[in-house]
Chain A
Amino acid sequence: MSLVKLTIDGNKVEVPAGTTIYKAAKQMDIDIPILCYMDLKDLNIENKPGGCRICSVEVEGRRNLAPSCSTDVTEGMVVKTNTMRVINARRTVMELILSDHPKDCLSCAKSGNCDLQDMAVKLGIREIPGQEYAEMSTYRLDTSPSIIRDLDKCIMCRRCETMCNDFQTVGALHAVNRGFNAVVAPAFEMNLEHSPCTYCGQCVAVCPTGALTEVDHTAKVIRALNDPTKTVVVQTAPAVRAALGEEFGMEPGTRVTGQMVTALKQLGFDYVFDTDFAADLTIMEEGTELLGRLKKHLEGDENVKLPILTSCCPGWVNFFEYNFPDLKDVPSTARSPQQMFGAIAKTYFADKIKVDRKDMVVISIMPCLAKKYECQREEFSVDGNPDVDFSISTRELAHLIKQANMDLNKLKEDEFDAPLGESSGAAVIFGATGGVIEAATRTAYELHTGKTLDKIDFKQLRGMEGIRSATVDFDGLDINIGIAHGLGNARKLLDEVRAGKSKYHAIEVMACPGGCIGGGGQPLHHGDASILQARIKAIYDEDEGKTIRKSHENPYIVKLYDEFLGEPLSEKAHELLHTHYFDKRKKIFQV
Chain B
Amino acid sequence: MSSVKIELRQDQIDKIHTICDSFGNQSGELINVLHKCQETFGYLPAEVQEVIAEKMEMSAAKVYGVVTFYSFFTMIPKGKHPISICTGTACYVRGAETVLNEFKKQLEIEVGETDVNGVFSLSCLRCVGACGLAPVVQVGDKTYGRVAPDDVKAIIKDYID
- Tell me, in angstroms, the Cα distance from A174 to B68 when the chains sit together: 11
Is the CB–CB distance between B46 and A188 below 8 Å? Answer: yes
B68: contacting residue among A176, A588, A589, CB under 8 A: A176
- Asked if B63 lies at the interface with its beta carbon under 8 angstroms from chain A, I say yes
> In residues 63-90 of chain B, which contact A (Cβ within 8 Å)?
63-65, 68-69, 71
Contact B60 A176 (CB under 8 A): no
Interface string of B31-43 (1 = CB under 8 A from A): 0000000000000
Chain B residues whose CB sits within 8 angstroms of the CB of A175 once the complex forms: 65, 69
Total residue contacts A-B, CB cutoff 8 A: 61
Closest A residue by C-beta to B75 = A188
**How far is A165 from B5 in the complex, measured between Cα atoms in Å?**
27
Chain A residues near B154 (CB-CB < 8 A): none
B117 contacts the other chain (CB 8 A): no
Q: Given B2, B50, B59, B68, which contacts A165 in the complex, CB threshold below 8 Å? A: B59
Q: Do B1 and A588 touch (CB < 8 A)?
A: no
Q: B114 — which chain A residues lie within 8 A by C-beta?
A: none
Instruction: Kindly state whether residue B116 has any CB partner on chain A within 8 Å.
Output: no
User: What's the least CB distance linking A357 to chain B, in Å?
Assistant: 40
Given A188-B60, A589-B5, residue A174 in contact with residue B50 (CB < 8 A): no
Which A residues lie within 8 Å of B50 (CB)?
Answer: 187, 587-589
Q: Is the beta-carbon distance between A589 and B47 smaller than 8 angstroms? A: yes
Instruction: Please state if A189 and B65 are interface contacts (CB–CB under 8 Å).
Output: no
Tell me, yes or no, whether A461 is within 8 Å of chain B by CB: no
Q: Check if A173 is an interface residue, CB within 8 A of chain B.
A: yes
Q: Does A186 touch B at the CB level, under 8 Å? A: yes
Asked if A188 contacts B59 (CB within 8 A), the reply is no
Indicate whether A187 sits within 8 Å of B69 (C-beta atoms), given known contacts A589-B2, A589-B47: no
Closest to A588 in B: B60
A172 and B46 within 8 A (CB): no
**Cross-chain contact B2 with A174 (CB below 8 angstroms):** no
A418 to chain B, nearest CB (A): 48
A174–B62 CA distance with the chains assembled, in angstroms: 6
Q: In the complex, A379→B1 CA distance in Å?
A: 33
Residue pair B58, A188 in contact (C-beta under 8 Å) = no
Known contacts being A171-B62, A186-B61, A195-B61, is A177 close to B5, with CB within 8 Å?
no
Q: Provide 13 A-B residue pairs closer than 8 Å at the C-beta atoms, listed in order of the A residue.
A: A165-B62, A171-B59, A172-B61, A173-B61, A175-B69, A176-B68, A176-B69, A177-B69, A187-B53, A190-B2, A195-B61, A588-B50, A589-B46
Chain A residues at the B interface, C-beta cutoff of 8 Å: 165, 170-178, 185-190, 195-196, 587-589
